[in-house]
Amino acid sequence: MNDVVICLFASAGFDKAAQGLAGAGRRLADELGGRLRAVVIGAGADTLALEFSRLCDTVIIADQAELAEYQPETCLNALVRLCGELSPRTVLLGNDAYSQEIAPRLAYRLGGSAVGDGVEVRVEGEALRVSRQVYGGKAQAVIELKRMPAVVWLRARSFAPAPARAEAGEVTRAALDIQADTRTRVIERKREEQGEARLEEARVIVSGGRGIGGPEPFTTELQPLADLLGAQMAASRAACDAGWVPPTWQVGQTGKKVTPDLYLAIAITGASQHMAGISEAKTISAINTDPDAPIFKHCQFGIVEDYRKVVPLLREKLAALQK
């Protein structure tokens, strides 16, 4: 069959990443001439299912008590059962930690193939191809998945949302006779403090690096600028490792991958590891004292100057525009 299934965890909510996942699924299903189905797992799935019923042909709810909270083995068993019954050509997941953990194991259980961090999924002839960033964002690899179903987790905000349908699709509840599997289980959960939006969904990001010089300027210089721009705060690995800001702010190859409309890099040199996290940003602007900093090879706008001279001027101009 040429159907596409998107797998969602109710705890993530109806965020931009999930909407983009539905958008990617809808376009792929149209290319394949198949249907778009959504599987929603976890407590509170009913609310999310109603949202996705306007984007998908069918929504299947799996909210048994054993699936109320994410446990890897139990959720994997449920997805194997549901996807096996649906027999899709492609299974798409988001880039949350749960999806990244499950995707390759789901592909193995279904006898398919897997790839992660996709920024484009398309059909060429009979082949399904996924594009992803490699070598720290310096190149793009195109991977052809020959064993079906193809199980792919996608980078957040790399895909436009799906248009709402005039009529809602069918919503059903799966009758799963599934037992809790505790061979591998989550024994503790810690929720990170975050603002109104997740960093991966931010449209504007103000980010500081080692050249900021310490924790105080993040509060006294960069945060007021971010407030004026309506931006989220972020940082390089060096700033996070130094303990100047929370580790949840880290952007880069070993941190978060972001796709904002504007990424303002302040006192960040732009090493390949950091660029891997911002390669999908629409516009990159940089302030750095080193004219040879790698960041200037990638940014659309750059200022060679001490940020302590530039940032106050930016704040002053922005404040004047908002009066």
pLDDT digits (tens, 9 = 90+) for 53-73: 999 999 999 988 888 888 889
User: What domains appear along the chain, each with residue ranges and CATH number?
Assistant: 4-173 (3.40.50.620), 199-321 (3.40.50.1220)
pLDDT at 99: 92
pLDDT at 35: 94
pLDDT at 245: 95
Q: Are 189 and 173 in contact (CB under 8 A)?
A: no
pLDDT at 192: 62
Assess whether the previous peptide bond of 149 is cis (omega < 30° from 0). Answer: yes
Q: Are 102 and 72 in contact (CB under 8 A)?
A: yes
pLDDT at 14: 84
* Angle subtended by helix axes 72-86 and 97-110, to nearest 10: 50
The upper half-sphere exposure of residue 144, i.e. CA atoms within 13 Å in the direction of its Cβ, equals 6
Within the chain, what is the greatest distance between any pair of CA atoms?
Answer: 64
Q: Are 134 and 141 in contact (CB under 8 A)?
A: yes
CA distance 266 to 210: 9
pLDDT at 16: 81
CA distance 274 to 266: 13
Which pLDDT tens digits describe the chain residue by residue (323 residues)? Answer: 789 999 999 888 888 888 899 999 999 999 999 999 999 998 888 888 999 999 999 999 998 888 888 888 999 999 999 999 999 999 999 988 899 999 999 999 999 999 999 999 999 888 899 999 887 677 889 999 989 999 999 987 788 888 888 788 899 998 888 888 878 888 887 766 655 567 888 899 999 999 999 999 999 999 999 999 999 999 999 999 999 999 989 999 888 888 899 999 999 999 988 998 898 899 999 999 999 999 999 999 999 999 999 999 999 999 998 87
CA-nearest of 163, 139, 142, 240 to 199 is: 240
CA-nearest of 98, 58, 49 to 75 is: 98
CA-nearest of 209, 198, 206 to 224 is: 206
Give CA separation, 135 vs 66, 140, 177, 265, 314, in Å.
40, 8, 44, 20, 34
How confident is the prediction for the chain on average, in pLDDT?
A: 90
